[in-house]
Amino acid sequence: MGSKLSIAFLVLAAFTTAAPAQDKSPNNANDIIARGEYLARAGDCTACHTAPEGRLFAGGRAMPTPFGTLYTSNITPDPDTGIGKWSADDFYKTMHSGRFPDGGLIYPAMPFASYTKVTRADSDAIYAYLRSIAPVSQKNKPHELRFPYDNRQLILGWRTLFFSEGEFKPDPKKSAEWNRGAYLVEGLGHCGMCHSPINALGGTSQSDAFKGGLIPMQNWYAPSLTSNREAGLGDWSIKDITDLLQTGVSMRGVVYGPMAEVVHNSLQYLNDEDTRAMAVYLKGIAEGSSPPPAATALPTTESSLLISLGKTVYDKHCASCHGTQGEGKPPHWPPLANNQSIEMQSAVNPIRMVLNGGYPPGTKGNPMPYGMPPFAGLLSDNEIAAVVSYIRTAWGNRGTPVSAREANELRSAPLN
Amino acid sequence: MFARAATPVAVIITLAAFDGAAAQTASQPPDTMAARVEACTPCHGNKGEGTSDVYFPRLAGKPAGYLYNQLLAFRSGRRKYPPMNYLLEFLPDPYLEAMAEYFAGQHPPLPQPAPSEVSKDVLALGEQLATSGDAGRNIPACVSCHGPGLAGMQPGIPGLLGLRAPYISAQLGAWRYGTRTAKSPDCMQQVAGHLTEADVTAVSAWLATRPAPANPAPVPKGTYALPFGCGSQPN
């Protein structure tokens, strides 16, 4: 990988400094643009910087945060409203250091805390690609942040605590494939932006990387990628992991909610080698040991009543797809028995799944996914709690019962 | 591992649908659109005939182009109903087209017209607006676009039969307040913009009392000319 990248960099340097008439390697320039397009997908720049029904890369997509709403920027090569006047150095400074060309601080909603790991050559390829797309004249929508968060100087504090600048350093003790996977997951993939605990300051710390956390505003739990009791993939086959990342469904489970978006907008476009590299890395970081499940807060008689009601609800509404023994008809109707994503300590995801239903993303590998109906209108809080308690504890699953109050609270979770 | 009904038939279907070795032991859901839209049918009925909830519309038999336009609008959030916006968010165009075709191709009988709760005068106003409009107030007759039989026209104009009054009135209200929009020029927005609250009540009530016609199918494209242009009905 290394040598290929440095060649690409030399070619790009020639391309950007030489006058177009003297350029003798148009194919290589096109290769770099194509590579930049691929990397922009891997980093999900494309979807975040494009509004629904909006022009490609013209920005304006709303990002709700606990501090107010941010709007993504126009990164088309329009000189006045986009980044048409930026040099490759300016662009690298944004990716690597989280600063505007004039040194101004960028909000960490733009995932520069991960992109800082991206190599200069990859940054330059993305830059070359962004210069090749159609410029769109569209002014950036001003952010709507509450006082005092509208003051960009506050970002300094955040940076001191949570930002460590620096390109990815391969681990010489690991294989090239593992290192490629690590580069993608920690860098462009910005998986840690969701899969790490988010503290009160809206930051994720290095030591907690990939330990899982509740995504603020969205009320989805992004499971730990290191614990096998959550989304740690230690006992998954490489094929099941690559299926999940590339198509959104697998024999072990499916993606949904924000993770469906990641697969839809980004991961489905990665080639087989890169997907495999990510799978190898993800399987590698899973730790065997994990704390035992927390004891339930519900008294036993109450929870056994709940669970017998849960079985009734399950047999009536769920078994037709997920099977009487939770075996499902995978990959399209996922198994619920031995499915980590239901057994996790946080019951937010299975409760929301039952309330809202869902479709896995439509992908190249699974263009017409099967769906699950929402049950919010059909089942009471008590029935939802009962059926979720049942699937978390039946068939050898090791989750804990949930209460009607938890189910009720998630009825108002935002749906987008 | 699990009790599975792995009949030879299931295995053959599985082999056809999958090349993964692991899949050979598991059975698969039916490879049909009906199984794929099971996420929709608790609200819209097994064949898109609608359900007892008066705000959940019938889908069956509406022009596929119209249904497709709605699915695109729900996916982007331009037409708002959060449970549906959420379900459709990551589904690609060709799949939405297939869903639209599927429901357009279903022909369960239209429901019995609802007994009306409004007065004769109100129904008379509704009938007048629907069949003749009100030239003085710039209101075109609904039939001039939705067709003399109110069955709609391919590919983009829906029939107005088999819907309940609360749903129709909610849609007209959404156009008046700008929360529902169609492709520009948005002719329905112009129509709804001229209706008063009372007009909306009247025309919704009258439409909901119409009996099912002998042939509820939308007429072919170009059967009649529209009074003015609609972005969702290319001519």
User: Residues A115, A117, A119, A124: what is their CA dihedral angle, to the nearest 10 degrees?
Assistant: 10
Same domain, B94 and B124: no
**Helix pair angle (A120-132, A26-42), 10° resolution:** 100
Whether B184 has a pLDDT exceeding 50, the answer reads yes
State which amino acid sits at residue B92: P
pLDDT tens per residue across span A249-298: 999 999 999 999 999 999 999 999 999 999 999 999 887 655 445 445 56
* Terminal-to-terminal C-alpha distance of chain B: 59
* Structure letter (DSSP) for residue A222: E
Mean pLDDT of the residues in chain B: 89
Which among B74, B108, B142 is the end of a domain? B108
B86 shares a domain with B23: yes
Q: In the block, which residue shows the tokens 């009996």?
A: B211
Q: What pLDDT does A288 receive? A: 63
Q: How many CB atoms lie within 10 A of CB A273?
A: 11
Cα–Cα dist A337/A328, whole Å: 8
Q: Which of A73-82, A218-227, B110-119 has the highest average model confidence (pLDDT)?
A: A73-82
Are the C-beta atoms of residues A275 and A242 closer than 8 Å to each other? Answer: yes
Which residues from B are below 8 Å from A267, CB to CB? none
The gap between the terminal CA atoms of chain A, to the nearest Å, is 38
Residues of A numbered 260-279 whose beta carbons fall under 8 angstroms of chain B's beta carbons: which are they?
Answer: 260-261, 264
**Do B96 and B66 sit in the same domain of this protein?**
yes
pLDDT category, A147, cuts 50, 70, 90? confident
Phi, psi angle pair for A108, to nearest 5°:
-70, 0
Residue B140 and residue B69 share a domain:
no
From B108, B136, B152, give the residue that closes a domain.
B108
- Written as one letter, the residue type at A77 is P
Over range A334-342, report the average pLDDT. 93
A105: which strand partners?
A99
| Calpha distance A244→A69 (Å, rounded) | 31
Q: Are residues B88 and B129 part of one domain?
A: no
Torsions phi, psi for A6 (to 5 deg): -70, -30
The CATH number of residue B94's host domain is 1.10.760.10
Mean pLDDT for the stretch of residues A23-35: 77
Helix (H, G, I), strand (E, B) or coil at A208: helix
A38-61 per-position pLDDT tens digit = 999 999 999 899 998 899 999 999
**Cα distance between residue B125 and residue B137, in whole Å:** 13
Least confident of A148-162, A294-308, B96-110, B125-139: A294-308
Distance of CA A67 to the CA centre of its chain: 21
pTM recorded for the entire structure: 0.91
Structure token pair of residue A414: 């935002």
Cβ distance A251 to B23 less than 8 Å, yes or no, reads yes
> What pLDDT shows up at residue A116?
97
Q: How confident is the model at residue A416 (pLDDT cuts 50, 70, 90)?
A: low
Q: Which of B2, B23, B40 sits opposite A337 (nearest CB)?
A: B2
Q: Are B117 and B228 contained in the same domain?
A: yes
Answer positive or negative: Cα dihedral of B161, B165, B170, B176.
positive
CA B156 to chain centre: 11
Q: Rounded mean pLDDT of B204-225?
A: 93
Pairing, β A213-215 against β A62-65: unpaired
Percent of chain A with pLDDT over 70: 85
- Chain B hits for A372, CB-CB cut-off 8 Å, are 38-39
Query: Cα distance from B83 to chain A (closest Cα, Å)?
Result: 7
For position B198, what pLDDT does the model report?
97
| In a shared domain, residues B142 and B37 | no
* Residue A197 three-state SS: coil
The answer to whether residue A6 scores a pLDDT higher than 60 is no
Contact: B29, A329; criterion CB under 8 Å: yes
User: Within 10 A of A347 (CB to CB), how many other CB atoms are there?
Assistant: 23
A105 close to A152: Cβ distance less than 8 angstroms: yes
- Both B135 and B225 in a single domain? yes
B3 contacts in A (CB within 8 Å)? 324-325, 327
ω into A66 cis (within 30 of 0)? no
Point out the residue among A358, A367, A373 whose CB comes nearest to the CB of B95: A367
Residue B143 and residue B43 in one domain: no
Residues B104 and B115 grouped into a single domain: no
CA-angle at A224, arms to A220 and A227, nearest 5°: 145
pLDDT at B209 over 60: yes
Contacts of residue A371, defined as CB under 8 A and 6 or more positions apart, other chains included, come to A357, A358, A359, B36, B37, B38, B39, B40, B87
Is residue A123 helix, strand or coil?
helix
Pair B137, B210 in one domain: yes
Q: Which of B73, B108, B143 is the last residue of a domain?
A: B108
> Using alpha carbons only, what angle is made at residue A320 by residues A316 and A326, rounded to the nearest 5 degrees?
95
Encoded amino acid at A27, one letter:
N
> Residues A180, A186, A189, A193: what is their CA dihedral angle, to the nearest 10 degrees?
170
Integer angstrom CA distances of residue A216 from A155, A193, A200, A219, B226: 18, 11, 10, 6, 50
> Which chain B residues are within 8 Å of A261, Cβ to Cβ?
89-90
Give the domain extent around B28. 1-108
How many domains is chain B built from?
2
Of the partner residues B26, B42, B82, the one whose CB lies closest to the CB of residue A415: B82
Q: Do residues A58 and A74 lie in contact, with contact meaning Cβ atoms separated by under 8 Å?
A: yes
A62/B contact by beta carbon, under 8 A: no
Strand order in the sheet with A62-65: A62-65, A68-71, A144-145
* Residue B87 CA: distances (Å) to CA of A212, A310, B49: 25, 25, 20
Question: How close, in Å, is residue B31 to chain A by CA atoms?
Answer: 10
The pLDDT tens digits of the residues spanning B96-126 come to 999 999 999 999 998 888 788 899 999 999 9
> Is residue A205 scored above 80 in pLDDT?
no
Please return the burial class of B225, using the count of CB atoms within 10 Å of its CB with bins 0-12, 13-18 and 19+: exposed
On the question of pLDDT at A237 being above 60, the answer is yes
Q: Are B73 and B66 in contact (CB under 8 A)?
A: no
ipTM associated with this complex: 0.86
* Residue A119 in this model has a pLDDT that exceeds 70: yes
Other residues' Cβ atoms within 10 Å of the Cβ of residue A183: 24
Q: Report CA-CA distances (Å) from B69 to A167, B55, B109, B156.
A: 46, 19, 24, 8
Residue A1 has pLDDT above 70, yes or no: no
Q: Is A251 on the interface with B (CB under 8 A)?
A: yes
Verify that B71 and B160 share a domain, yes or no.
Answer: no
Specify the range with the lowest mean pLDDT, choosing from A206-220, A298-312, B59-73: A206-220
B104 in helix, strand or coil? helix
Q: What is d(CA A373, CA A396) in angstroms, rounded to the nearest whole number?
A: 26
Query: What's the pLDDT score for residue A209?
Result: 65
Residue A191, pLDDT > 70, answer yes
Residue A325 has pLDDT above 80, yes or no: yes
* Closest Cβ opposite residue B77 in set A52, A326, A372: A52
Chain B residue numbers with beta carbons less than 8 Å from the beta carbon of A356 are 83, 86
